[in-house]
Structure 1
């Protein structure tokens, strides 16, 4: 996994980064370019937005699960029940937040194909930063644009 140490600038403007933090053995700062190194998945999404009605977009990017597994979550992958106490907090630069459980994205449980989108409708998201895309959600409230941070936390007991 590539680890960018500071936001880089380009002729087109600054490149946004997201910070992977929390209960991880390999925390990182990632750009959209870094996310393109993972296998890319494409999904067409339709969701209701409270302010602008029905939205339809095509997103590409790696699975959130793949990116977080590469960062080394602080659990033994062989112990399924241990994974159930982990939460994933996603924060956008605009103050929008969403919380997911690890079980939602884990292939042994919910297997939701949550993306860290690197493109939307074939347009790269380098300047804005990646987007959290939950294709299974009917409502767009958990879609986060311009992700600034993702924190993995295993301190919760069930």
Structure 2
């Protein structure tokens, strides 16, 4: 009777590309390597983490707005009110989620330099996956690690007067 040996368990989990989808003309699946083809920005941040206290990090990566703009959101760029109804939802591999509004990152509104980080403290995030970085946030709740998907779309209420009639 022979015994088979199971392969050793590894703790490194490789992540696949993040799925960029929703109300976009060109949805895409993007790897960390592909995100490096966008203009890189750096953010030196300090934020409070509920489990680990104050965090000090340097992130590098493209602006979230640049990545989404390349996918061409289905709004009229000339109409501010059309852009102002769009949301951005970011999902991490561990189930963590965060929502931003398009006006937060739009250059004509909040102009927040929100990043899709491709490196953390000089270390590439290829194995871990991209990370959402919101430099203006004092707490780290919207810092989503190992991004699996980004959904972009307009809010569509379900209980409108037409639905209730």
- TM-score by length of structure 1 reads 0.89
Report SS of the residue matched to 2:141: helix
Q: Which residue of 1 aligns with 2:161?
A: none
- What residue number does 2:154 align with? 154
Aligned-partner Cα distance in 2 for 1:140–1:153: 24
Question: What is the CA–CA distance in structure 2 between the aligned matches of 1:15 and 1:101, rounded to whole Å?
Answer: 26
Alpha-carbon separation, structure 2, partners of 1:51 and 1:133: 18
Cα pair 1:16 1:128 within 8 Å, conserved: no
Deviation at 1:153, TM superposition (A): 1.2
Separation in structure 2 between the aligned mates of residue 137 and residue 52 of structure 1, nearest angstrom: 16
Matches within 5 A, 1:49-68: 49-68=49-68
1:37 aligns with 2:37: yes
Residues in 1 aligned to 2:65 and 2:127: alpha-carbon distance in whole angstroms? 23
Residue pair 1:85, 1:156 contacting (<8 A) in 2 also: no
Q: Distance in 1 between matches of 2:149 and 2:96?
A: 11
Equivalents in 2 of 1:104, 1:155: separation in Å?
15
Say yes or no: does 1:105 pair with 2:105: yes
Give the greater-gyration-radius structure (CA). Answer: 2
Alignment of 1:1-158 (within 5 A): 14-156=14-156
User: Would the alpha carbon gap of residues 51 and 14 (structure 1) be closer, same or farther in structure 2, given more than 3 Å must change?
Assistant: closer
Instruction: Classify the secondary structure of the residue corresponding to 2:66.
Output: helix
Q: Higher strand fraction: Structure 1 or Structure 2?
A: 1
SS where residue 141 of structure 1 aligns? coil
Structure 1 residues 144 and 56 mapped into 2: Cα distance closer, same or farther (>3 Å)?
A: same
Q: Which runs of 5+ in 2 are unaligned?
A: 1-11, 158-165
Q: Which runs of 5+ in 1 are unaligned?
A: 1-11
RMSD of Structure 2 on Structure 1 (CA): 1.3
After superposition, the C-alpha distances for 1:86-136 in whole angstroms (9 at most, x for unaligned) are: 000000000000000000000000000000000000100001110000000
